[in-house]
Amino acid sequence: MKYGYHTQIREGVRAYVPHSLWDYGLELEGFVKPLSEADRAIAKLDVITELLPNPDLFVKMYVRKEAVLSAQIEGTQASMTDLVDMEAGAEKREKRDDLQEISNYMRGLEHGISRLNDLPICKRLIREIHGLVLEGARGENRNPGTLRSTQNWIGTGGGPEDAAFVPPPPQRVAELMSDLERFIHQDDRYPILLRAALVHQQFETIHPFLDGNGRVGRLIVTLMLIANDDLHQPILYLSDFFKRNRPEYYRRLQGIRDRDELAEWVRFFLRGVRDVATDGAQTALEIQRLREEHRDLISSELGGRAANGHILLDGLFQTPAVTVNDVADIVGSSYPAANNLVEGFERLGILEEKTGQSRNRRYHYEDYLNIFGALEP
C-alpha cells in the first residue's frame, strides 16, 4: 500500500505528506520472529537491571551515552570523555557548542521521563522537550518548542530543489502531529515495539520542528517504552544502533517515502531494539561485576577508610570524572581526608589521574568508562 503522497509546493519542489498511521495495514505475521527476539531481549534487560543492588547508580551513564551518540548522529564531535571532563569542571572551549547540545539532550530526556508521571506523551510534552534540547545551543534561533510555520528540507546545502527529502508543508504539521498523538495513546492493533517503529518514522517524516527533529524523535522511542512499562529503568536507547548503521538508518526511512518499504524499516528497527537491549544487558552485568570486585578490593585494602571508600565508589558510578573537591562533597569529608582517599583509590588502580598537573587534578574511574567506551565521533 501507499504510505503517503507527494504534493507540489512550488515549481520544481514536491513535499511528501504521510498518510495517517491509522490507515496503515501492517500484517503482524511478517514480524513474528524479529518481534519475539526484540521482546525477549528487552525482558532480559529489564530483569537484569531490576536485580542489580542499586540500578539508579548506573542510569545516568546510559543517559550520557545516549546523549553523546544522538548528538554525534547530527554531526557533533564531542566524546564521552569530553562530557564527563566538562562535568568535572574542565575547560572544553573548542567543543563548547557540541557539549551544550549533549547536555541539553540529557536535560530534555530527564525532563521527559519525569513528566511521564503527570503528563502523557503528547504535543505539549514533545514541545517542552524540544525547547530544552535547543535552549542556548546551536538552533536556539530556530523556534525551540514551537511547531514550524515555514517549509524545511533535508539536504547538504542548496535549497529544497536539491534536497534529499522535503517534509510536509507547514500548514499540515499541526494536524499530522495531532493525529500522531492520538495514535500513540489510542492504537491497540500493534504491540508497543511496532507502534514505536511506526511513530518514530512518522515523526521524522513530519519533521515538525526547524531543527532537532532527529534527537527528539529518537527520544520519543524510549519514552514510549517507559510509559508502556516495558522498561522500569530508562536504559534502552537506539542511537548506538542508528549511529553504527547510519547510512542504512537514513536509507530505511527514505525507503518508506520513495518505495513504500515500511516492512523493511520495521525489521531494521526491531533488529536495533534486539541488539541494543542485548548489549545493554551485557553492560549491566559487567557493571555489577566491576562494582563487586572494587567493593571487595576497598574492604580488604583501605581499612578504616573503607566505609568512605564504598560511598565514593557508588558516587563514581554516577560521576566517573572527579576532582578532590568533588570527592570531599561525595563522602562529606575535609579536603585532606578526600585527598588521602583519592590517593588510596589511585594506589588500588580504581582512579586514574588524567591531567598530569600538580594542581587542579582530575581523576577518571577508567574501568567504568571503558565499559561504555570512549564514544569518539
Give the pLDDT of residue 138. 80
pLDDT tens for residues 261-314?
A: 999 999 999 999 999 999 999 999 999 999 999 999 999 999 999 999 999 999
- Pick the residue with more confidence: 106 or 25? 106
In a domain, 212, yes or no: yes
Last residue of a domain, one of 279, 311, 339: 279
Predicted local confidence at residue 358, as pLDDT: 83
User: Has residue 321 been placed in a domain?
Assistant: yes
Residue where a domain terminates, one of 248, 279, 310: 279
* pLDDT bracket for residue 257 (50, 70, 90): very high
Indicate whether 22 pLDDT > 90.
yes
Q: What pLDDT is recorded for position 51?
A: 83
Q: Which residues pair with 344 in a beta bridge?
A: none
For residues 41 and 153, state if they share a domain. yes
297 falls within a domain: no
CATH number at residue 271: 1.10.3290.10
Extended strands (E) in 1-122: 4-10, 13-18
Whether 55 and 203 map to the same domain: the answer is yes
**What are the tens digits of pLDDT across the range 201-220?**
999 999 999 999 999 999 99
**pLDDT tops 80 at residue 158:** no
Total residue length of the chain: 377
> How much is the pTM?
0.93
For cell 545516568, the residue is 60
- Alpha-carbon separation of residue 229 from 40, 42, 124, 226, 305 (angstroms): 15, 11, 21, 5, 41
Q: Are 335 and 267 contained in the same domain?
A: no
Question: What's the grid cell of residue 88?
Answer: 568535572
Q: What is the mean pLDDT of residues 193-200?
A: 97
C-alpha angle with apex 251: 73 to 15, nearest 5 degrees?
A: 95
CB contact burial 51-61 (16+ within 10 A = b; e otherwise)? ebeebebbbbb
> Are 85 and 222 in the same domain?
yes
Q: What is the pLDDT of residue 363?
A: 97
317 in the same domain as 247? no
306 and 268 assigned to the same domain: no
Residue 376's pLDDT is 83
Q: Are residues 211 and 325 in the same domain?
A: no
Of 214, 244, 279, the domain-final residue: 279
Whether residue 347 lies inside any domain: the answer is: yes
| Number of domain units in the chain | 2
Please check whether residues 113 and 248 belong to one and the same domain: yes
Does residue 292 fall inside a structural domain?
no
Residue 156 has pLDDT above 80, yes or no: no
Q: Is residue 289 part of a domain?
A: no
Closest CA to 131 of 115, 118, 155, 117: 115
Per-residue pLDDT band for 161 (boundaries 50, 70, 90) equals confident
CATH code for the domain in which residue 349 is found: 1.10.10.10
Tell me: pLDDT of 84 over 90. Answer: yes
Same domain for 120 and 264, yes or no, is yes
Does 129 lie in the same domain as 232? yes
DSSP state of 373: -
Residues 351 and 246 in one domain: no
Report yes or no on 287 lying in a domain: no
CA distance 103 to 114: 17
The residue range of the domain holding 358 is 302-372
Residue 272: its H or E element: helix 262-301
Of the chain, the percentage scoring pLDDT greater than 70 comes to 99
Tens digits of residue pLDDT in 347-376: 999 999 999 988 889 999 999 999 998 788
CA atoms of 136 and 257, how far apart (whole Å)? 33
User: In three state form, how does the secondary structure of 108-159 look?
Assistant: HHHHHHHHCCCCCCCHHHHHHHHHHHHCCCCCCCCCCCCCCCCCCCECCCCC
* Cα–Cα dist 123/327, whole Å: 41
pLDDT in the model for residue 228? 87
For residue 209, tell me if it sits in a domain. Answer: yes
Same domain, 129 and 259: yes
